[in-house]
Structure 1
């Protein structure tokens, strides 16, 4: 007890209660240095381990059960079907017909996936990062004379393990695919897929730590994110074109050697007939920087500023609380605010003030979208896969054509939903509409005008591009799909607060259990869930026909669907003010 009292007196005398440990870069936060005699790190951690042992045992049981369930799901949904396919292949089934297309798509496709993994890890470092202990650890333990590194290192390595596990699953999936379609030996396929599948997530964790602790790296990450996103979509488009028989071999060589995202593809191609010289070197280039990056990150994990850790822990807790209460929009807004997307993406754009009062609403909506160019950029980028998915729908038949058309419409809906943010902001707090002379339902319908005009401009530009590339008259289906998709987005924007009560009730108990989750999902995505399947029927028929006579029928069905969805959105919007007053 005397030693503890002396340590407390020493801490009070030196101001250690608010000091940070050695290695903390923010020296101004420490009024005075504390010496090795004040260092109680080992004793504090040993005491905490003893006090937390019952909780740690319970937590270990929970983690073991979660891991058991995950492995069981992977075996049931992945391992058993894969084994069945290999048994069928041993009895004469031939799956090699897809092999050439797979090998053609692999170079740029692997580069796209690898770059996307690194981009997601870097974006995670902008708002959370790989080193985020619980708030109790940050607010209490690290505020005492305790070395940060022994406390923070386990959280960094936990992030590494969580990132490596999906990579291992992807490597096993690549082994199965190469073994079935290319007849590659399973040990060789797994061995050559592992470097990319494991090293890229671990490099992403290291990059996320750099972004988390270094403001300059965070600024560069925000600056380069749009360009990296465009590059990922361009690589994915090139991969699709290569699979369709239009490869660009010289460009693929450049992409394969351009960085870690390409080295993973080089290594994966090594055991296949399409192997490129340098696969072993590419694997070595992946492993060596990963090892060096992990060693450097292990040393840097203890130097994350304490104030930043507090901020990230509160952000992560806010996102988790929003997810637990099924407030997905709130979680998205918290992440955007913490990562700087809400501020860094704004531009001071001015538009002439309209002379007519009825134009004020459209002026505000247009100005809001112009001042957040990131949303306009995402709308353009998401429109590209929508047009690309319509190409295979033109050459397929039956249910497959309908499914591909639904996928194209889904990308189109996501693109147009970016333009409906002013309507969603209006419904976040209905009191904002007090300035408007219109009833709230009429105000929400007017919020669809500017997104519809911008969507029509974007779709017409895409249709013209398809026509210039040799497409047929069915390219004009893109503008016809804009009004119903905007109406579907408006239905979703008017849904109001989350109906969590739907999660806990099932009107008709079934043998499969409670249907609350399905009911909540149907309520949450009601607009696109109705619009996409219905709109895909005439559009897929017109795409299959490939001629202009299918356009009037698609236009008529789209107009009826648009009117129905707008009436639904109006009814939903009319109920929001009364619901807000009673909440």
Structure 2
């Protein structure tokens, strides 16, 4: 994000001399004054680390040890080895590219160097050198980024040790090359985006294309597991950049090793060290106005998260990163007054093409999961169908933004001749039409590839999923009281579970209810199962629309003076 430097601050900084430098004394005094607070923060961080490690040991370490004990007693897990090796080239490239993209997107609104507001508003405004103040925050971001990489490297070691009988030290060492270097490269890229307006513009411009590439790599990985690998394309991806070099290093100790694994590891380590050195020097060159702006944004997002205002946090991040920019698109104004609402909804979506793009991208994994559910049985089929429906819900939820904007402040609906509940139901028309178009396109692709009539279940699920999204859009002010007023269970409070059920009530009802008949229809493909799934979908859509209508009818009363309303 572009920020203009303050000429007055530059002039003051130019007047500072060595005699005015009180950096060491100021930092020493602050360390002494903050000692009690720092001890409390250290205790909190230590407790959080302890809980994290305990969860990893209970849910990861002990089951992994049990699998190795079973393998030592004759259990054979090598049958999963070919599938793992087939998925690794494109899959690791997708994960690596996604890691870099997330780090770059973080640099658009926050960045790896974001000290607290007290530091930016008070300490850095005094004659102190910024380098000793800012460097610790950069290295803290590096440490936080490396920790998930270490967990992934250990997981890769376990997977390779069980399925390919690779030595654990060798597997861990080769996996660490990518799992450590890629997050560190991402932090350096985030710092570049944070301090360079040109890099930030390129990051915004390339994000849609990189997202499509990540999705394509994930699809290619799934096809490779299904027995349709493209070897020459995998070689190109493995040598295309750091995201591919990590795959080359991870494949090095396996039977599917590609020549050049050692070179790939060196190409990861050496540039990472160089980038860290350069980033360490560049961290002190960030402008004070930029740091102040980022600190305020980060504090606002954190406050929204603490008060469980997830939508407010998303809007704050989108506004700070420039993701909320709209295109100047025009549509002919309809002559019929009853079409004005649908014209406004369509125009709002066309002016925010990122939402349409995300809806298209999320439709792809929904269709792929439905195809996978067609070839599975039992509980696995139900689970994969539920995942497909969840992706479908997320796709249509992108199209319901006009309805969510309407419920952010019900006073915006004063122009409408309809009651507020009726207005909200009309907001579901455009998303339903667009969702049907996307689902019909996915079904047509499946049919062209040889799929059966069960492919038409995709458009049949759209009305219920749109209605579920409308239920969520009409939930009103956050019910934080559910976190504290719920009854105590034997294992502790269930307030978090109750709040999550209220917050995601629409999909929490729609996805499990639809998964049962849709899973049966995908497995059998008979006319009877398709009819049953259709009936369940339509009845559920009507019930959810009724629920949304009731919820929407309560929102104007909540927004009146003296009542609790959504900010």
User: 1:354 corresponds to which residue?
Assistant: 334
1:525 to 504, 510, 523: 504
Q: Return the match for 1:451 from 421, 425, 431.
A: 431
Aligned length: 557
- Residue 247 of structure 1 corresponds to 229
Report how far residue 135 of structure 1 moved.
0.3
Query: What residue number does 2:23 align with?
Result: 41
Which sections of structure 1, spanning at least 5 residues, go unmatched? 1-23
**2:159 aligned with 1:180, yes or no?**
no
Equivalent position of 2:41 in the other structure: 59
Asked if 1:552 corresponds to 2:531, the answer is yes
| Separation in 2, partners of 1:481, 1:511 | 38
SS for the counterpart of 2:308 is: coil
Deviates more, 1:51-60 or 1:352-361: 51-60
The question of 1:538 aligning with 2:517 is answered yes
Contact 1:402 1:536 in 2 (8 A): yes
CA–CA separation in structure 2 for the residues paired with 1:547 and 1:236? 31
1:549 positional shift: 4.2
Deviation at 1:420, TM superposition (A): 0.2
Partner of 1:4: none
Contact 1:491 1:569 in 2 (8 A): yes
Which of 141, 149, 163 is the equivalent residue of 2:123?
A: 141
| CA RMSD, 1 decimal | 1.1
- Structure 1 position 80, deviation (Å): 0.8
Determine the structure 1 residue equivalent to 2:70.
88
Q: Contact 1:505–1:515 at 8 Å: present in 2 too?
A: no
Matched, 1:108 2:95: no
Residues 55-92 of structure 1 show CA distances to partners (whole Å, capped at 9, x for unaligned) of 22222222122212211111111111111100000000
Distance 1:134 1:314 in 2: 9
- Structure 2 partner of 1:3: none
Q: What does 1:428-443 correspond to in 2, within 5 Å? A: 428-443=408-423
Query: CA contact under 8 A between 1:383 and 1:415: conserved in structure 2?
Result: yes
Q: In 2, Cα distance between the equivalents of 1:193 and 1:28?
A: 50
1:150 to 132, 135, 150: 132
Deviations 1:513-555 (A, max 9, x none): 1111111011000000000011111111110003444322211
- Residue by residue, what CA displacement relative to the aligned partner does 1:334-371 show, whole Å, maximum 9, x if unpaired? 0000000011xx11110000101110000000000000
- 1:174-212 per-residue CA deviation (whole Å, 9 max, x = no partner) reads 000000011100000000000100000000000000000
Per-residue deviation at 1:450? 0.3
Q: What pairs with 1:211-360 in structure 2 (closer than 5 Å)?
A: 211-343=193-325, 346-360=326-340
The answer to whether the Cα contact below 8 Å between 2:94 and 2:217 also exists between their aligned partners in 1 is yes
1:365 aligns with 2:365: no
1:579 to 537, 558, 562: 558
The alignment partner of 2:335 has SS state of coil
User: Do the aligned partners of residues 396 and 580 (structure 1) sit closer, same or farther apart at CA in structure 2, a change above 3 Å counting?
Assistant: same
User: Are the equivalent residues in 1 in contact too, given 2:5–2:289 (CA < 8 A)?
Assistant: no
TM-score where L is the length of structure 1? 0.94
Q: Deviations over 1:386-433 (max 9, x none)?
A: 000011211111111111100000000000000000000000000000
Q: Deviations over 1:136-163 (max 9, x none)?
A: 0110000011111110000000000000
Partners of 2:517 and 2:44 in 1: CA distance? 49
CA distance in 1, matches of 2:70, 2:5: 60
TM-score (norm 2): 0.97
Aligned to 1:17: none
| Equivalent residue, structure 1, for 2:406 | 426
Query: What CA distance in whole angstroms lies between the structure 2 residues aligned with 1:349 and 1:77?
Result: 50
C-alpha contact (below 8 Å) 1:26/1:305 kept by paired residues: no
- The 8 Å contact of residues 484 and 562 in structure 1, kept in 2 or not, is answered as yes
How far residue 512 of structure 1 moved from its aligned partner, in angstroms, is 1.4
Q: Which moved more, 1:64-73 or 1:542-551?
A: 542-551
Rounded to whole Å, the distance in 2 between the matches of 1:500 and 1:295 is 45
Shift of 1:30: 2.0
Distance (whole Å) between structure 2 residues aligned to residue 421 and residue 332 of structure 1: 12
User: What is the DSSP-based 3-state SS (H/G/I as helix, E as strand, rest coil) of the residue aligned with 1:229?
Assistant: helix
